[in-house]
A and B are shown apart, each in its own frame.
Chain A
Amino acid sequence: MTLPLSRSEVFGELRQELYDDEKFHQSDVHIFIIMGASGDLAKKKIYPTLWWLFRDGLLPEETYFVGFARSDLTVDAIRTACMPFMKVTEMEAERLSAFFARNSYISGKYAEDASFSKLNAHMLALPGGPEANRLFYLALPPTVYHDVTKNIKQHCMSTKGWNRVIVEKPFGHDLQSSEELSTHLSSLFSEDQIYRIDHYLGKEMVQNLMVLRFGNRIFGPIWNRDSVACVVLTFKEPFGTQGRGGYFDDFGIIRDVMQNHLLQMLCLVAMEKPASTSSDDVRDEKVKVLKCITPVSMSDVVLGQYVGNPEGEGDAKLGYLDDPTVPKGSTQATFATAVLYVHNERWDGVPFILRCGKALNERKAEVRLQFTDVPGDIFDNKCQRNELVVRVQPNEAIYAKMMSKKPGVYFSPEETELDLTYKSRYKDVKLPDAYERLILDVFYGANVHYQFVCDELREAWRIFTPILHQIDKEKPKPIPYKYGSRGPSEADDLVKRVGFRYEGTYKWVNPHKL
């Protein structure tokens, strides 16, 4: 696979992959409705993503894009707002025009029936409108979900084509609110019409976890409590809330990252092999493994909140509480480490360590399995534990940290790695953005792995709600940590206490010149 495929080749291959023999009705008309077209997510992610997919010929030819929001906008105004994020080259100018020629915009109120009737009329008026398939992307704050979904159902559903509704997190803020939202949605739509997005599931390496685990014989016998000492799932951002702390403050890091992204990755690492790769079979296994996780307890959690670094530059000088939109004296956590246990035959006793935080020392998301010590050591205790690391971002890679003979005249072991760095190995491959995959997935209804059903969601909330309520009620003071540091040392203590061994002797060496 060295030559990049042409557009139609990729499209053809994808179609084949997702449909096998089923005919894909690419001649059907599709309408993609962006609810909240004036917002941040729309201009930074949704519109650019649709443009990239359109440009690469990955969308059905007859696709129209309709924006809807309260603001009084035009397509040109939207175009202007999106351009900084669209990465358009000169050669693509014509195609870009074609893209925007398919765009239109309607303004209206989220709680108003008339607005949605207007929207519906507009869609019917588009070429092929009455038969069109319709995708509704809710790029909206959760406060308006109820109204918008009700109105979509009452006024905007396609009668001939299919209808799909895409919702982003947060899905409620605890078990009860999440169940309420789920109930509301299921009263309006069938489960196969609802697409709850966790965009982490669109990331290359997260999608790779299934193939790694279930496509390789060598991992079969060691993927269990006999060989795995602990699993560490990490998500680190090197920046703070950047003036949007007010919004973050309602949620906190556990709801923002841990209860969804990290827990989803945990599912992929811990689940049993599904009966097939169909989305239902995969989801069944994810729900099954979630059911074996008891709610996390406070003693297995460390919470932190970043403070400014006096020696830092720019943003780094500011702590979370220095953000003017954050309420004074907020005890909201911007960092959390929690230990979960999967009480089943495969994993009983193995700590699954989830660590996430803002304003840390690096940008990193990874999955790390640390294996147990070699029994019956003959190398004088010089062997460190093996680790299998899947780096989700940045710089996608997989590597196995292991022992090798120290090269040269010596005979003793030292650490090294078997490495697969995507930038080197797959130089010419374009790795699509997570949103590209996920939107594509919704179009083809293959619903492979980017969204989850209500019982996954319910289990995820069940695991975290008790501790979230406890935190909301008791308002424990989070441990302060400096902007740009590794986080509070209490987190390292916790991680060591439950069994992760950190020798500090190893430094990953990228063997390739990037």
Chain B
Amino acid sequence: MEPLTRSEVFGELRKELYGDKQSSHSSTHVFIILGASGDLAKKKIYPTLWWLFKDGLLPEDIYIVGFARSDLTVDKIKAACLPHMKDTDEELDSLSAFFKRNSYLSGRYDVGSSFERLNSHLSSLPGGETANRLFYLALPPTVYHHVSTNIRNHCMSCKGWNRVIFEKPFGHDLQSSQELSAHLANLFKEDQIYRIDHYLGKEMVQNLMVLRFGNRLFGPIWNRNSVACVVLTFKEPFGTQGRGGYFDGFGIIRDVMQNHLLQMLCLIAMEKPTSTSPDDVRNEKVKVLKCIAPPNMADVVLGQYVGDPGGEGDANLGYLDDPTVPKGSCTPTFATAVLYVQNERWDGVPFILRCGKALNERKAEVRLQFTDVPGDIFADRCQRNELVVRVQPDEAIYLKMMTKRPGVFFGPEETELDLTYKSRYKNVKLPDAYERLILDVFCGNQMHFVRSDELREAWRIFTPLLHQIEAAKRQPIPYTYGSRGPSESDDLIQRVGFRYEGTYKCVT
């Protein structure tokens, strides 16, 4: 299969996202990065825009405007971004062309006149007056109120469309999140607001819908009659790496569980939507969230990593050794929680969410463990089937199942039906999550972004627990850097029904 040319890909995408409608790709687009001097901008946003530009996936007529308080130039930005841009020698011309379309303005986030100046600049660009405008807030949440108000008051395009992209955190509990949502709803319509959960841009997470709803095989078994439990996992092998101070204000539940893991849970648990249109899909996600009650403290295990005396480098350091972390902080860096979806399809099935930093491996996956085979005839030698979707690293889907032990034997043993993307799709470039998501914003597709009611439900589920943890200053269980986490977590998941035999090793 030959790789498609740039315009072919763009054409196909356009067709996929728009159908027969004429897209507005012939108009001018301006992409404004607020917080252009920050980490996210230089490590993710600028490089992503560059990759999209280079592959011809952005509209022809695109301008990129950076805005921040610092006194910068495009050249300085270029220098800051280059280490993250993975450009090659052949692309130098393209890279120049890219940066020619870039400009930079400095200003204050809380000052209206800065934004008036920004607006004049935008309007002065070729086609600027009628251009479509995307505002990316690569900023700390403390300035969201000001920036969003100022955008609304000074920078909206009157002829083209306007879209505003926000990153998490969206508040820190139900109340603060609702306040922020109310504030944004005053300024923008829902179809102008794009809340990013970058996990929704990952290949395998996007695949969940196709897997579930495009395959007859899974239909009859995707429910409480056949599924014993669902485990959603997110593990990082490194700690807070000197940025613990920032993390300490949030903790692992807000950082990973309430968003990434919960989003994946939605995709696994939801009913089939009426269509693949974004609102139909998001309606189902909200519906399933509404059936989830806040988890009980008894169904939660919290941990905090300590240094590994035998470890090297960072591994020697515990969370509390990070100088930016307040002394005696109880913030968890590890959490396992069990949620239940109280509806007809899932009543009684534990959805186990597990996440943590400084663990033994990097892994994000979704695992459905199925019930035992009823009426066993193999002398209890059959292990449970599992369907595993590995989100990262090394995208794959595999079905762990029993087969006859090959050779002269007759008894069953574990094996897998496997689909490893690196093998099966050798020549396919899997885009970065941000590439997809930013493209989605250009195309006006909100399917992979979080709607306000989704967000409200997600906070409703976790806020009581978070408040309880903070009020009680509950001591997290220590675990060694590089380990699997506290064993109490394994106890919890076994108590609620996950069976771990330890006999199986995935061979791919």
30 contacts between A and B (CB under 8 A): A1-B413, A13-B409, A14-B409, A17-B409, A17-B410, A208-B403, A215-B401, A217-B221, A217-B373, A218-B401, A221-B221, A221-B225, A276-B377, A376-B272, A379-B213, A388-B217, A400-B417, A402-B211, A404-B419, A407-B425, A407-B430, A408-B203, A409-B9, A409-B57, A410-B12, A410-B16, A412-B16, A420-B415, A432-B407, A509-B424
Query: Are A273 and B375 interface neighbours, CB within 8 A?
Result: yes
CA A276 to CA B376, docked complex, whole Å: 8
Q: Chain A nearest CB: distance from B367 CB in Å?
A: 14
B window 450-508: CB within 8 A of A: 507
Interface residues in B159-188 by Cβ distance below 8 A to A read none
Find out whether the CB atom of B431 lies under 8 angstroms from the CB atom of A409: yes
B378 CB contacts on chain A under 8 angstroms: 211, 214-215, 277
Partner of B372, one of A217, A412, A432: A217
Known A-B contacts: A273-B375, A416-B419. Give 4 more (CB < 8 A).
Answer: A374-B216, A409-B439, A419-B417, A430-B407
Contact with B along A376-420 (1 / 0, CB 8 A): 101100010110100000001011101111011111110011111
- Asked whether, in the complex, the Cβ of A215 is within 8 Å of the Cβ of B402, the reply is yes
Which of B137-145, B273-281, B346-354 contacts the other chain?
B273-281
Interchain nearest-CB distance for B200 vs A (Å): 12
Given contacts A1-B413, A432-B407, contact A409 B221 (CB under 8 A): no
A217 touches B420 (CB 8 A): no
* Contact of A218 with B221 in the complex, beta carbons under 8 Å: yes
Produce 1/0 per residue, B300-311, CB < 8 A to A.
000000000000
Q: For residue A420, which residue of chain B has the nearest CB?
A: B417
Q: Is the CB of A409 within 8 A of B217?
A: no
B97 within 8 A of A: no
A512 contacts partner chain B, Cβ-Cβ < 8 Å: yes
Query: Judging by beta carbons under 8 Å apart, are A404 and B207 in contact?
Result: yes
Of the candidates A227, A378, A386, A407, the one whose C-beta lies within 8 Å of that of B272 is A378
Contact (A373, B375) CB under 8 Å given A1-B413, A425-B415, A430-B407: no
Please tell me which one of the listed residues A376, A416, A432 contacts residue B408 in the complex, with CB atoms under 8 A apart.
A432
- Chain B residue contacts of A58, Cβ below 8 A: 408
Chain A count of residues within 8 A CB distance of the other chain: 74
Tell me, rounded to whole Å, the shortest Cβ–Cβ distance linking A66 to chain B.
Answer: 25
Q: Is B214 an interface residue (CB 8 A)?
A: yes
Partner of B406, one of A375, A405, A413, A429: A429
Taking a contact as CB atoms under 8 Å apart, the answer to whether B217 and A386 are in contact is yes
Tell whether A220 is near chain B: CB-to-CB under 8 Å.
yes
Interface string of B212-228 (1 = CB under 8 A from A): 01111101110001100
A249 within 8 A of B: no
Task: Determine whether the beta carbon of B436 is less than 8 Å from that of A409.
Answer: yes
Per-residue contact bits, chain A 289-311, to B (CB 8 Å; 1 contact, 0 not): 00000000000000000000000
Chain B residues, CB < 8 A from A416: 419, 424
A270 on the interface (CB 8 Å rule)?
no
Within 404-454 of A, Cβ neighbours of B (below 8 Å) are at 404-405, 407-413, 416-420, 422, 425-426, 429-432, 436-437, 440, 448
* Docked pose: A18 CA to B272 CA in angstroms: 48
Interface size bracket, B side: 35 or more
Known: A419-B417, A419-B418. A217 touches B371 (CB 8 A): yes
Given known pairs A17-B409, A218-B221, A405-B206, the reply for A418 and B404 (CB within 8 Å) is no
- For residue B17, which residues in chain A have a CB less than 8 angstroms away from its CB? 411
Q: Does B435 contact A (CB under 8 A)?
A: yes
- Which residues in B have their C-beta under 8 angstroms from that of A379? 210, 213-214, 276
Q: Which residues of B contact A417 (CB under 8 A)?
A: 419
Bound: A420/B401 CA distance, A:
11
A442 to chain B, nearest CB (A): 14
Q: Which residues in chain B, 122-141, are within 8 Å of chain A measured between CB atoms?
A: none
B409/A215 in contact, CB under 8 A: no
Indicate which residue in B273, B387, B406, B423 contacts A204 across the interface (CB closer than 8 Å): B406
Q: Which of B13, B417, B420 has the most CB of A within 10 A?
A: B417
Query: In the complex, are the beta carbons of A274 and B57 less than 8 A apart?
Result: no
Which B-chain residue is minimally distant from A58 (CB atoms)? B408
The answer to the question of B421 belonging to the interface, with a C-beta cut-off of 8 Å to chain A, is: yes
In the complex, are the beta carbons of B374 and A220 less than 8 A apart? yes
A222 touches B418 (CB 8 A): no
Measured CB to CB, the nearest residue on chain A to B445 is A411
Q: Are A207 and B410 in contact (CB under 8 A)?
A: yes
Check if A383 sits within 8 Å of B214, measured CB to CB.
yes
Whether A98 is near chain B, meaning CB under 8 Å from some CB there, is no
- In the assembly, what is the distance between CA of A232 and CA of B431, in Å? 39
Q: Is A10 an interface residue (CB 8 A)?
A: yes
CB of B412 within 8 Å of the partner chain: yes
Instruction: Kindly state the separation between the CA atoms of A277 and B375 in the bound complex, as whole angstroms.
Output: 12
Interface assignment of A467: CB less than 8 Å from any CB of chain B: no
Bound Cα distance from A344 to B225, whole angstroms: 24
For the complex, what is the distance from the CA of A277 to the CA of B210, rounded to whole Å? 38
A120 interface residue (CB < 8 Å to B): no
A216: chain B residues at CB < 8 Å are: 373, 382, 385, 401-402
User: CA A371 – CA B214 in complex, angstroms?
Assistant: 12
**Residue on B nearest A278 in the bound complex, by CB:** B377
Say whether B419 contacts A418, CB under 8 Å.
yes
Cα–Cα, bound, A1→B409 (Å): 13
With most chain A CB atoms within 10 A of its CB, the pick from B385, B409, B436 is: B409
**Smallest Cβ distance from A334 to chain B, in angstroms?**
33
Chain B 382-408 interface mask (CB, 8 Å, partner A; 1/0): 101101000000010111011111111
0/1 interface trace, chain B 429-443, chain A, CB 8 Å (1 if under): 111000110010000
- Distance to closest chain A CB from B45 (angstroms): 18
Evaluate whether A208 and B404 lie within 8 angstroms (CB atoms) in the complex, with A14-B409, A277-B378, A419-B417 already known.
yes
A216, A273, A436, A440, most chain B CB atoms within 10 A: A216
Say whether B416 faces chain A, with CB atoms less than 8 Å apart: yes
Which one, A212, A412, A418, contacts B397 given CB within 8 A? A418
A455 CA / B21 CA spacing, docked (Å): 66
Q: Say yes or no for A147: interface residue by CB 8 A criterion.
A: no
Verify A211–B412 contact, CB threshold 8 A: yes
Q: Which residues on the B side are within 8 Å of A440 (C-beta)?
A: 408
